[in-house]
Amino acid sequence: MKLSEIIEILKAQVICDSDLSLDYEIKTACGSDMMSDALAFVKDQGMLLTGLLNPQSVRTAEMLDMKCIAFVRGKIPGDEIIKLAKDRGIALLSTKYRMFTACGRLYSKGLGGGCDEE
């Protein structure tokens, strides 16, 4: 799924694009407020949906080679998080949807979790 489609489906505000193309293809996603749960997920070209608003959400995405984070429940990250994300080339979005709804909207449009069980 293209980043542009994700932005549209989540009705998201782009906090910073970090030079990531709107055509960037995101293949899988993971939704979690617990970073170790996200770190148990190791798929290429994924995105993270989280309500966790601290630098560790960016660092977790960095370790996982994720290029996009969507903050749910309308959360807006502070300058420190935005700077870290820009340095790491990670786009930040903010959506007003809650975690369950945000994940459900993306899943129903075809973005999977990349898990064997699906």
Partner 1 sequence: MQPIIKTYVIPGDDFTHAGEASGKVKAMLKQLGYDSDAVRRIAIAMYEAEINMVIHADGGKATVEIHPDRVELTLQDSGPGIEDVELAMQEGYSTAPDEVRALGFGAGMGLPNIKKYTDDMKIESIVGTGTKIYMLVKAGKTS
Per DSSP, 16 falls in state E
Query: Residue 105: exposed, middle, or buried by beta-carbon count in 10 A (0-12, 13-18, 19+)?
Result: middle
Subset of residues 78 to 117 that bind partner 1, contact rule: CB under 8 A: 80, 88
Subset of residues 42 to 81 that bind partner 1, contact rule: CB under 8 A: 42, 50, 52, 54-57, 59-60, 62-65, 80
22 binds partner 1 (CB under 8 A): no
Per DSSP, 39 falls in state H
67 vs 117: CA distance, rounded Å = 24
Min separation Cβ 41 and partner 1, Å: 10
Q: Which residues of the chain form contacts with partner 1 (CB under 8 A)? A: 33-37, 39-40, 42, 50, 52, 54-57, 59-60, 62-65, 80, 88
